[in-house]
A and B are shown apart, each in its own frame.
Chain A
């Protein structure tokens, strides 16, 4: 199989993979892996330091902290679809790539911005939020009846309520889509 290489400017990358089923079961397994990356990331000193630095620029409120994290994601993560892989028989398969928060921060260090799709931004946002002391959850949305969830973003709990960090939707989905199903999962 031919894989897109990890960013050469971010040394020490480790790729692990597993095959997940189609449908909502596969989505739930993906969310489980996302939560795993968030929990590790929220305890990572690099994430904790970055979260403190981001929050320091806010007004000190929990709402201000969440908005500062959203601004950081908007300015520092460029939307990019997950790259497909090519198998030995020539077939090309789409994949679901999840980047750890630390990997994305190293990308930002190297290039000024990281790249990723909605799940990568959701992971980084939830890890930064938790590192800053804010409860986080994933919002999953479906836009097609009978189809599995198609979009995910993070919400952070503040004194003003849940604040959404949905910074990729304008780049990923057409406007005006009707949500036919949604759920929330702890991040």
Chain B
């Protein structure tokens, strides 16, 4: 790669980074310092009943007084 090409690419990146200065998370993410999204963790017990495939929960009763 020609030195001038590297310079141009570096300039483009710097320009983008400065332009995105109000979005530091976008820069961090692009640099790999931040993980995209959020980690969702489910805490269950091994003894829990397994879901029935395709079976809906029994219809709830309409409330009555």
Residues in chain A within 8 A of chain B (CB atoms): 6, 10, 12-22, 26, 29-30, 33, 36-37, 39-40, 42-44, 61-63, 85, 87, 91, 93-100, 102-103, 106, 130, 133-136, 157-160
Contact A17:B41 (CB < 8 A) given known A39-B57, A62-B63, A130-B57: yes
CB <8 Å contact, B45 and A19: no
Cα A144 to Cα B33 with chains together (Å): 27
Complex Cα distance, B44 from A100, in Å, reads: 5
| Set of chain A residues within 8 Å of B48, measured between Cβ atoms | 40, 44, 100, 102
Question: Hey, which chain A residues are within 8 Å of B39, CB to CB?
Answer: 17-20, 85, 93, 95-96
- Give the interface SS of chain B, mostly helix, strand, loop or mixed: loop
- Which residue of chain B is the closest to A45 with respect to CB atoms? B49
Contact present for B63 and A96 (CB under 8 Å): no
Are A17's CB and B38's CB within 8 A? Answer: no
**Contact across chains for A95 and B41 when beta carbons are under 8 A apart:** yes
For the complex formed, measure the closest distance between the CB of B24 and the CB atoms of chain A, giving whole angstroms.
15
Which residues B26-65 have CB closer than 8 A to chain A? 33, 35-51, 56-58, 60-65
Min CB–CB distance A22 → chain B (angstroms): 6
The answer on a CB contact under 8 Å between B41 and A19 is no
| Contact among A10, A17, A21 with B36 in the assembled complex (CB-CB below 8 Å) | A21
With the chains together, A37 CA to B41 CA distance in Å? 12
User: Known interface pairs A21-B36, A36-B51, A43-B49. Does A159 touch B65 (Cβ–Cβ under 8 Å)?
Assistant: yes
Is the Cβ of A14 less than 8 Å from the Cβ of B40? no
